[in-house]
Amino acid sequence: MSDLASVRVIVFGSVQSVYFRDFARRRAVELGLTGYARNLRQAEAVEVEAEGERGQLVTLISHLKVGPPAARVTNVVTDWSEYTKRYSDFEIRGLA
């Protein structure tokens, strides 16, 4: 039986205008995950919500803690929840 889960990750730091959302999307797709990445209006932050195998989600989080070369991640907050199967792919969304 698979260990499916959902996780919401907020990545803080210099993470907007450095292709962070595209970085997150590419890593998620490589890992077989679904969900989205979007910039947050209220802070210099990117929100990533992803679903899939728990081990792959942990790997995604480790990538998000580093980010693309131009990013400077200062903090990462995660919130785990049950798998919902609400996403069919991984997309980049507009500003929240």
Contacts of 38 (CB under 8 A, 6+ apart): 21, 46, 47, 92, 93, 94, 95, 96
Q: Are strands 90-92 and 34-40 parallel, antiparallel or unpaired?
A: parallel
Query: Which residue in 8, 21, 41, 54 is the catalytic one?
Result: 21
Any catalytic annotation for residue 75?
A: no
d(CA 95, CA 39): 5
Any catalytic annotation for residue 21?
A: yes
Query: Which residue in 27, 39, 86, 93 is the catalytic one?
Result: 39
Q: Which residues are 80's β-sheet partners? A: 7
Active-site positions read 21, 39
